[in-house]
Structure 1
């Protein structure tokens, strides 16, 4: 039965963010624990009336506290470069490379002395936890890139497939060819290109190469993706014992729906999340 493209694309989702997408608190807490002692030592400077002198004494006695300072500015690197009309400096906070007097200048000019001296904050551990939380939110793009893969894998497992037994993650064409002695030259330009599939499912009579993606927003990349997967599907159709399957979703496809429809019209195994929820896996992998 031929599927209706309009009905199919209308079931695409706005988002697939899971509960762990927003903030990885385990990572946040771990990063803070690594510098918690040093942060508590620096807490002695909060509200200080003579912060210049006390900072110098503190660094002389506890030089390891320097490593906390970049985080207070929401910087991951242990080195910070700064320049103004008075000169340019590359500060190393992992291993002191400048006189303490220069680090005092850094603390003044970045506003960190003011932050601590004037009780704008009460506890550097709490403050640093907030900074880490903000920095971790920048990691959403990386986490988002794996959301669709993780979702597809959860459905694969749900229907009884076992990792490294009858389903495999991130396999290259040459690995598939070597493992099951199958000629995939038609989809590798006769060995000139090395494609990697997100998943491989192996049943008793078929090898399934699976690609997954989710697009929240549009762009020229979507048109290219649709065209390349259309070509891949046509090439795969010529290989006995191999089937290409594409799981995709996301409202971003609305801006490239014409190209997606062209692929949909010629590709038998193209599915979305709604299809997965309706049990399509049991119909495909036999």
Structure 2
């Protein structure tokens, strides 16, 4: 459980001695808090809800396909049909997949985002995230409404990744994925797409083709190679079975408390995971530029 230590501050102002009690969490409690969010999340998959089929190891810089079958062998229908995944999956078709194309959000898409965020905001995971960040005196977590507004802008506010056009968001990049083409359109790469359910959704529809694993950590974490929209991704990673609520909240904590390359580390059922996150500031607003997980050492 996350814990606090009590510090007594002695402030000497002659001729008075003032004792100030202050409750502050320890400085290394980020990983422990994220671990507890994962444990308490009612929407994460149970061990028998998902069966993955890793097949062949592959770490080629060029397209190869040693694994002929799908990555996800089985996903429990009760998980797929859970409210959070229903609200999450309807967001997938709201975005222009190619960078450089302006995102235009219509009324229906705004409602879908509102419905999804309402679920997130009412979750125990989000409330615990807010409590932790408020305790750590994050400037955008002074009250719950302030934090909700900041959270929405952070993930769903549009910013420009190319040519000054509002063509992406943190949510689109990290959870949905996007295609970035070179100026002459001769090369392209997949950006983001670090969510297991999104990849499952693409794989089931035939839009994504799994090629092989780069790193495997039981049924908890995978770094894989795959093709999507005829574009090859030599290394893409995601936590397996985590809910989108957990991913959003864990990445938010990492983004605010321990940004940078693999600087945010936590334990998931005996497997260490580190998160890399980078911020992007445009028009004095802060957005998630990227956030993705990486594997730690072999699981305990």
**Higher strand fraction (1 or 2):** 2
Looking at secondary structure, tell me which structure has more helix per residue: 1
Query: Could you state the TM-score of these two structures normalised by the residue count of structure 2?
Result: 0.22
The alignment's TM-score, normalised by the length of structure 1, stands at 0.22
The structure having more radius of gyration, on CA atoms, is 1
